[in-house]
Amino acid sequence: MSEIRKKRSEIAATGTQLAFVHMGSEEQAQKFFSKFALNGEARVSDTQRKLYEAFSLRRGTFRQLFGLKVWKREFRDRIMLTYGIGKVIGDSFQLPGVFLVHHCEILKAFRHESVADEVDYAAMAR
């Protein structure tokens, strides 16, 4: 989320509007997104994971969620950048994805193979 916050103006300059899908309540989302100064962005609560399924986002395996690559990234992001470890909300095995959608058509897609995968959000928006 911090990477998206850093790239938000670059993403907006392409005319792309951010929208987040999450599995929490509106109150939980408000608290989470405010930590990253992203409260003004569109968001949808999907507690039943219907959108995750519609976008073919899989649930992760143990390695995709807890493998060495993940531990390295977690150490960097959570410990070194002091985000801490938050409360798990929703299905903790759900892998994320990033999509560029225009007129109900997916123009670009990035479906994570690991929770440690990094996305070039600005490139996705172009």
In this prediction the pTM is 0.82
pLDDT at residue 7, as a whole number: 95
Mark the ranges of the chain whose per-residue pLDDT is less than 50. Answer: none
pLDDT at residue 79, as a whole number: 59
Q: What is the DSSP letter of 53?
A: H
pLDDT at residue 101, as a whole number: 97
pLDDT at residue 81, as a whole number: 53
Residue 110 burial (C-beta neighbours within 10 Å; 0-12, 13-18, 19+): middle
DSSP string spanning 78-104?
IIITT-------S-TTB--EEEEEETT
Share of the chain above pLDDT 70, in %: 90
For 21-56, what is each residue's pLDDT tens digit?
Answer: 999 999 999 999 998 999 999 999 999 999 999 999
